[in-house]
Amino acid sequence: MRFLLDQNQSPLLAELLNNAGHDAIHVRDIGLRQATDSEILSQAKREQRVLISADTDFGELLASSRDHTPSVLLLRRHDRRRVQAVAELILANLDTITDDLDVGAIVVFDQDRVRIRRLPI
């Protein structure tokens, strides 16, 4: 799977996802460190990447645009987790959410559950 990691995610998460066989890049590595949320969302859409973020603004942007892509994986309340644990959480659940991400969805990983909402909202 192809991922774009938002600024609020550790670059190490991209490395861990790459090591697991995925194509993951961090916004800082492609010159988008200071980009707006709209610019980051557009980049993810252009490159057909799932955006990984903790920023709920992406859900609002997708809802107002009525777009079907890109998919967004929101990590809620995981800021105190080690990056390795976040990578393991994503990888452990990826088989379950891949079909949704492929067609366009917002997937939210809360502390104790996974919520999926298909796009458009």
The pair of structure tokens assigned to 81 is: 């987790």
- The per-residue pLDDT for 80 is 74
Mean pLDDT of 31-56: 96
* Cα(54)–Cα(74) distance, integer angstroms: 5
Instruction: Calculate the average pLDDT of the chain.
Output: 94
Helices and strands in the chain, H and E counts: 4, 6
In CATH terms, is domain 2-118 a member of 3.40.30?
no
pLDDT tens, residue by residue, 64-109: 889 999 999 999 976 678 999 999 999 999 999 999 999 999 999 9
Domain extents in the chain: 2-118
* Cα(42)–Cα(112) distance, integer angstroms: 30
> Percent of the chain at pLDDT above 70?
98
71 in Cβ contact with 107 (< 8 Å): yes
- The per-residue pLDDT for 119 is 94
Parallel, antiparallel, or unpaired for β 105-109 and 72-75? parallel
- The per-residue pLDDT for 42 is 96
* Cα(42)–Cα(33) distance, integer angstroms: 14
- The per-residue pLDDT for 78 is 64
* Cα(106)–Cα(29) distance, integer angstroms: 24
- The model carries a pTM of 0.95
